[in-house]
Amino acid sequence: MSDPLSPSERSARMRLVKSKNTRPEMVVRRLCCDMGCRGYRLHRSDLPGRPDIAFIGLKKAIFVHGCFWHGHDCHGRVRLPLSNSDYWLPKIQRNGARDSEHVFCLEAKGWNVLVIWECELRNLVSVSVRLKEFLSGNTGLRHPDNG
């Protein structure tokens, strides 16, 4: 399938895709604030992977991953790109491998890591429960699909 957009139009559209302060990330931050957990830092460049949300004193990091960009299968519904798959499939695989490496590095430094997938935000009650358990518990709570 060919791309209906010209290369310059595609490039302009891709520049609009944000990597920070995305809608899913803002939802998770609002949930944290609603629980009274406001002492977090954003996108700490001194931590592996620049976690979206980091509770420095607690040594807890939260990543909010977009399902397409990070290769999540969304419980059996794999979202594969239809055009330019020779480029996108290796890129998405590299993103997933890099995500796993960042989680490993953080855990090696004594951090607890939680990954929240974009598709999980359809059930805010479930995400709230996981966030509360993660932030109040003494141990990490990683989702089985963390990669």
- What the chain holds in terms of domains, given with CATH numbers, is 26-136 (3.40.960.10)
**pLDDT at 85 (0 to 100):** 82
* C-alpha–C-alpha distance, residues 100 and 115, integer Å: 11
Q: Which pTM does this prediction carry?
A: 0.81
Q: What is the pLDDT along the chain (147 residues), one digit of tens a residue?
A: 566 778 788 677 766 666 777 899 999 999 999 998 888 999 999 999 999 999 999 999 999 998 887 888 887 666 677 777 888 889 889 999 999 999 999 999 999 999 999 999 999 999 999 999 999 875 444 444 544
What region does 77 belong to: left with phi over 0, alpha with psi -120 to 50, or beta? beta
70 CB neighbour count, 10 Å cutoff: 18
The 3-class SS string of the chain reads CCCCCCHHHHHHHHHCCCCCCCHHHHHHHHHHHHCCCCCCEECCCCCCCCCCEEECCCCEEEEEECHHHHCCCCCCCCCCCCCCHHHHHHHHHHHHHHHHHHHHHHHHCCCEEEEEEHHHHHCHHHHHHHHHHHHHCCCCCCCCCCC
